[in-house]
Amino acid sequence: MKKIGVGILGLGTVGGGTYRILTENHNNIACKEDLDIQVIKVLERSVERALQKGVPASIIANNIDEITANNEIDVVVEVIGGIEPAKTFITKCLMSGKSVVTANKELISKHWSELEEIAKKHKTGLYFEASCLGGVPIIRSLVEGMQANNITEIAGIFNGTTNYILTKMSEENMSYSDALKEAQNLGYAETDPTSDVEGYDTMYKLSILSTLAFGKRIPLENIYREGITKITKSDIESGKELGYTIKLLAIGKMYNNSLEIRVHPAFVPDEHPLATVRGSFNAIHLVGNYVGEIMLYGKGAGDLPTGSAIVSDIVYSAHINEPRYIKFDCAVEDKNLVTDFKSKYYMLINCADKPGVLSQTTAILGKYEVSIESIIQKGKHKEFARVVFLTHKTSELSMMKAINELKKLEVVDSVESVIRVLE
């Protein structure tokens, strides 16, 4: 039986889950995979935390050098998070001849190519299945299950915190602030929820998955990003009436050798499979030119789902003779990302309730070639009429120009909401 020694950097939520799986499920993994995986060392600032999670005091390391210098360790698991010291620690581990498994989506999205070059130079592996969608095996599916296809589209719910908040707002009529507070109480959202609710977490994951799906390195600064903090109960109710469910979506499309990459809230048609993804679950919908549509669904965060993905990478690295790398010479930065993408739009405006207002607003939309599918009056807000416009597919740039001009109209009090619609 092949022996694999593991070092774990960080014993927080995910590190604790990984340690638990490796110890509780040791015999089952040994039986199925013919591998004797042993945790040799754990690096954790809080010795008390490590002891509480059942880690023997004898394997708690004091510094990274105890990990890199230990010849019994073959694979190092990094679950510290953030850029530093994680990047320095991973670099030292790779240079010492140890493969690295990480769940660090921010680090991979920003420094993937650099770390992979170090791994190549030292003939070690760099694996990050757990960086995207928790326990959902999306990276292995893209790299080893979709080779026959050119992937033309990905769309998904990549963040469990925002999906939980939007589910509560939709199903229990909660306000955004109350739903966020509940998510924080349950441990889904951090005390500072910015990364989740402003779409950064989703953006990191979309950068990684788009690079894998489309063979182009996607710089973070080229990804359109918008969070959920402006979504109201009124938006959600309007969506229900129109047959839509609101989700924070990550969208990537390849067409005419150009890429469209964006993160934002969107109305999803109720019949679309992504509309049924509730609570803290994640999902991704793929379209391949030969296989057609595929959807993967599961728990996108948490100690055991993410720990499951980490252990999967450990087992994978133990079975292959040579590490596999992404060919970054074939995945160069794409300078032709589409910024003026096309979408349908939902727009809610508050305007004067008098004759001639509708003709003024529609004239501006027509000026920018924004075609209207339907108009619905939603009662009044103070002395203003609330009017919903649902457009046909139009360009982002045209829509934004029209909105800017609408805001200047004397008869328009405010453009309250603008939400894109998934087709």
Distance separating alpha carbons of residues 398 and 339, to the nearest angstrom: 12
Asked whether the beta carbons of 184 and 193 are under 8 A apart, the reply is yes
pLDDT reported for residue 16: 95
Asked whether the beta carbons of 331 and 211 are under 8 A apart, the reply is yes
Q: CATH assignment of 342-421?
A: 3.30.70.260
Specify the pTM.
Answer: 0.94
Residues 116-156: tens digit of each pLDDT: 999 999 999 999 999 999 999 999 999 999 999 999 999 99
Helix locations, 122-191, DSSP H: 138-144, 160-171, 176-185
Distance separating alpha carbons of residues 41 and 7, to the nearest angstrom: 5
What is the topology classification, in CATH, of domain 138-299?
Dihydrodipicolinate Reductase; domain 2 (3.30.360)
Catalytic residue set: 205
Using pLDDT thresholds of 50, 70 and 90, give the confidence band for residue 219: confident
Where along the chain do its domains lie?
2-134, 138-299, 342-421
Residues 8-42: tens digit of each pLDDT: 999 999 999 999 999 999 999 999 999 999 999 99
Identical fold at 2-134 and 342-421? no
Using pLDDT thresholds of 50, 70 and 90, give the confidence band for residue 230: very high
Average pLDDT taken over every residue of the chain: 94
Residues 388-404: tens digit of each pLDDT: 999 999 999 999 999 99
C-alpha distance from residue 253 to each of 55, 150, 221, 286 (Å): 45, 11, 17, 10
pLDDT reported for residue 331: 56
Does residue 268 register a pLDDT over 90?
yes
Q: Provide mean pLDDT across the span 101-106.
A: 97
The second-level CATH assignment, the architecture, of 2-134 is: 3-Layer(aba) Sandwich (3.40)
